[in-house]
Amino acid sequence: MTLLSRLNALLDASTTPLVASAHCDLPCGVYDPAQARIEAQSVKGIMEKYNASSDNDFRVRAEFIKEERCELVKHHLWVLWTDYFKVDHLKEYPNLHDLFWMATKTAGEAKKTNDVVVADRLLAEIDDIAEIFWATKK
């Protein structure tokens, strides 16, 4: 029996559909602020290498990669914010929205600078989000 014929047989069968539920769009365990942190650590590392180099070609390439990594930081934070955290989390942690807003703004700021202080601030903001994330996973 081919896969298609098995699927058709399943669709034709008069069975009661199964219902699944989860508080997030996929079963828990797929979200982790570590993804954003890894990219932010790359941003910081690139800034350090950029600042230590006098090779213009290297610096141009470093800027390009750093900007990509900053966008990935924002992407991972937005996914966490929009897909994992729910209204109940915001009620329990009223500063959650501001933490995400500041971290994504800092990631945007990091695109425009090679000041490692900005990267350190981004890492600290991600750590603040991670602390709340892990508290919600109890």
Q: What does each of the 138 residues of the chain score in pLDDT, given as a tens digit?
A: 676 676 667 666 656 655 655 555 555 567 899 999 999 999 999 999 999 999 999 999 999 999 999 999 999 999 999 989 999 999 999 999 999 999 999 999 999 999 999 999 999 999 999 999 999 987
Q: What is the pTM of this model?
A: 0.79
> Rounded to an integer, what distance in angstroms lies between the CA atom of residue 57 and that of residue 48?
16
DSSP one-letter string for 18-84? P----SSSS-TTS--THHHHHHHHHHHHHHHHHHH---HHHHHHHHHHHHHHHHHHHHHHHHIIIII
List domains and CATH numbers for the chain: 31-136 (1.20.120.400)
